[in-house]
Amino acid sequence: MSELRVVGVEREAGVEAGGQSVEVAAVARRRSFTSEYKRRILDEADRAGPGETGLILRREGLYSSHLSNWRRWRKGMARKKSAKKKVEGKSANEKRLEKENAKQALRIRKLEAMLELQKKAAEVWDLADEKSETDS
């Protein structure tokens, strides 16, 4: 039992044990992976044939649960992206309808202006007719 304590002390101190430098982190930290790394590994795993996924996981020091979680993460990101597009930008159909509505509104304004012009012209002609009748 005293040997175990000695080995533990050697590891904590970072002393060479068995010809190798052994360093232990003071506080354990979770590994974190960048989005780019996750996408790259997921793409590679998606392209991998039967049995090759295990090789990728061993090479990278990952677990299959990483892939499961990252796939869920990727799916969620795709949903957020599509929702963001719907909020930010309008669909092509909505844009087309808005453009069509704007054209129709302009057409209506022109028609109303023409109608007003015709009414005024009719009033002027009526006044002119009344004047010519009184002059005769």
pLDDT score recorded for residue 9: 44
CA trace torsion 80, 82, 84, 89 (10° rounding): 180
- d(C-alpha 49, C-alpha 40), whole Å: 16
Per-residue pLDDT tens for 107-119?
Answer: 999 999 999 999 9
pLDDT score recorded for residue 28: 82
Q: How confident is the model at residue 29 (pLDDT cuts 50, 70, 90)?
A: confident
- d(C-alpha 129, C-alpha 135), whole Å: 10
pLDDT score recorded for residue 23: 74
pLDDT score recorded for residue 25: 67
- d(C-alpha 106, C-alpha 104), whole Å: 5
Domain boundaries, the chain: 1-30, 32-89, 92-136
Among candidate residues 49, 30, 33, 29, the one with its CA nearest the CA of residue 41: 33
Better pLDDT: 27 or 118: 118
73 exposure class (CB count in 10 Å sphere: 0-12, 13-18, 19+)? middle
Average pLDDT over residues 56-73: 94
